[in-house]
Chains A and B, each alone.
Chain A
Amino acid sequence: MLTILFDGIAYGMLLFVLACGLSVTMGLMNFINLSHGVFSMAGGYITAFLINRWGVPFLLCLPLAFLFSAALGMLLERTLYRRLYARSHLDQVLFTIGIVFMSVAAVDYVIGSQQQTVKLPDMLKGRIDILGGSIGLYRVFIIALCGCLAVTIQTLLVKTRFGSQLRAAVDDPRVARGMGINVNTVFAITFAVGSGLAGLGGALGTDILGMDPTFPIKFMIYFLIVVTVGGTSGIMGAFFASLILGIADVGGKYYVPQIGAFIIYALMVVVLIIRPQGLFTRSRGK
């Protein structure tokens, strides 16, 4: 029981790191991006590559995965995504699905369709007993790391100058420009950090979620659920949505395996019926 709860929390935390970048670009900037998983996949693959080919230590791979995905995100934002902010939602959906299809096929072609594996360092293997439940050390590590990240991101968004600039740019880009905020740069940095976090999540999740070329499609729905259920109130909504989703998914698959993933889709539809704007909303400035 406790083990399942703990696994669910670890899973939820992982989803949060994967999706929190998306909750800013999609929830706040209102840019429908279905290709977020591509950046996670990039992070996961670069980690697997670094560990298996060059023997880079796992803990060093995590920041590298972040940087790689962030750079990729920055590049694509500057060249492609930027043009789509002002386009219709249909255009955004089509464009980002196109990116997903291309990356899935390209990774399949270049690397192959087999599952990637990551060898964890010995210190993260094994289990410990807490309150009568047996818990994997790696999951404790994930919870601790992701918890720290959540606090850091929230502080960055709420307390720092950059956070205020971002919130201003999201609420009203024109006025923000008028106040001397370089909106394009703010969006580019946000997008890069969001992609980087997705990459970090992909690196962390390779062991738990699995990593193969279809990752962006398989987990797209999870990211989208986190964002829509979480609502547009910033990352705290996404945080709680991830936890609920993680616990419901792990618990559902353990207790009622015969209905499988049905439970989370049903949960999402129910939440959206009751609260179409998500669990946490804030009044927009417009």
Chain B
Amino acid sequence: MSMTPSAHQTMLDQARWRWSESLFWLLSLAVLFVFPSKALLFSQIAIMGLFALSLDLILGYGGIVSLGHAAFFGLGAYAAGLMAKHGLGDPLLGLAVAACVAAIIGWLTSFLLLRGSDLTRLMVTLGIALMLFELANRMASITGGADGLQGMMVGPVLGLFSFDLFGKTAYLYALSVLFVLFLLARKIVHSTFGLSLRAVKGNALRAGAIGISASSRLVAIYTLSAAFAGIAGALSAQTTQLVSLDVLDFHRSADVMLVLVIGGVGWLYGGIIGAIMFTLMQDWLAGITPQYWEFWIGLVLVCLVLVGHDRIKIAIQSIGTRLSGKGGAA
């Protein structure tokens, strides 16, 4: 049985690379040359975007509400940090190892998420993140405990570009990693695997009835998402040359969820756009009220839920299509 042409066409249309997307990525490169002094902030945005993208894979496409995604971010950060501390400072090697470590733990823990309700999943993800936090806190001889990991020596990227003080290399490095992983995620969610994942999220029982195994899909996407989050953590460790317990904190899991929700759940640009808005807002609010900016974050969350958090996504998407429409006509 092949798909009807129209259904096939719809799927292809969804996966098509739009003109506005090229514009988005070109702009994200251009900001570095317009505001070179803000490069460190931009690299933070890129890393946060990647982290939110990884959460979107399980939340938006897998339907798993996780309150402990910082576990994988932290694992990646500590993996890359420890390698750099012990003389293996090559950034790309660090990324690869961080991805593997996070993926292995993600794969192992994904089996715990297959049973139970949303609440059970929430608790298991939260519990695992808290356990890792406690572990990192207690194993101070390895992780540096509350003082953080010190003495990281990160080598130049590809042996050519060393990290500078102003964060120019850091941003270009983080942006390229984000772009490559974004393309990969885009490929995956538009593949048949991605479509079957959406079927499972829509209705696991019916998906099972047409021969899609929910468990294997969820395990696969959770592992992938963990690897992405691990890479985000490693990027953060390498660009800031600092790993502290903060990478595993509950706040980080809650923040990344907020980031994703601001930008919109269930589309890949959601995490990145959310990261832009969140980090700029954080930067701005922290400038005004450094101590109490959490209050405003909370207020944003509450208002977003009351207003309906899909509105922003719909607004941005409609701008995107309008731009693409003009581009096609010109």
Question: Which A residues are closer than 8 A to B by beta carbons?
Answer: 26, 30, 32, 80, 83-84, 87, 89-91, 93-95, 97-106, 108-109, 217, 221, 224-225, 227-228, 258-262, 265-266, 268-269, 272-273, 276-277
Contact = CB atoms under 8 A, between A and B. Distances in A.
Contact of B254 (A97, A261, A268, A277): A97
B83 interface: no
B201 to A, nearest CB: 12
Contact of A93 (B65, B138, B295, B300): B65
Contacts of B115: 276
Nearest to B116: A276
B261 A101 contact: no
Main secondary structure of the interface of A (DSSP, over half): helix
Given A98-B301, A272-B112, 17 more contacts: A80-B306, A83-B306, A89-B118, A90-B59, A90-B265, A91-B309, A93-B67, A94-B309, A95-B302, A95-B305, A97-B298, A98-B297, A101-B254, A260-B137, A260-B138, A261-B134, A265-B127
Contacts of A80: 302, 306
**Interface hub of A99, A104, A228 (most chain B Cβ within 10 A):** A228
A265 B250 CA distance: 14
A272 B123 contact: yes
B7 interface: no
Contact of B130 (A89, A102, A221, A277): A221
A84 B309 CA distance: 14
Q: Max chain A CB contacts within 10 Å: which of B265, B294, B309?
A: B294
B118 A32 contact: yes
A90 B65 contact: yes
A101 B297 contact: yes
Given A90-B59, A221-B126, A269-B131, A97 B65 contact: no
B295 A105 contact: yes
Contacts of A103: 298
B275 interface: no
Contacts of B117: 276-277
Contacts of A272: 112, 116, 120, 123-124, 127
A140 B294 CA distance: 39
Contacts of B305: 84, 87, 91, 94-95, 98
A268 B294 CA distance: 29
Contacts of A266: 131
A217 B250 CA distance: 9
B134 A262 contact: yes
Interface string B255-266: 001100100010
A99 B261 contact: no
B288 interface: no
11 contacts: A80-B306, A89-B118, A94-B309, A99-B298, A100-B298, A259-B138, A260-B134, A261-B134, A262-B134, A265-B127, A265-B128
A228 B119 contact: yes
B88 to A, nearest CB: 29
A105 B304 contact: no
Nearest to B297: A101
Contacts of A277: 116-117, 120
Nearest to B254: A97
B119 A258 contact: no
A89 B65 contact: yes
Given A221-B130, A262-B134, A99 B302 contact: yes
Nearest to B261: A94
B298 A108 contact: no
A217 B118 CA distance: 20
Contacts of B124: 269, 272
B291 interface: yes
Contacts of B128: 265, 269
Interface in B133-179: 134-135, 137-138
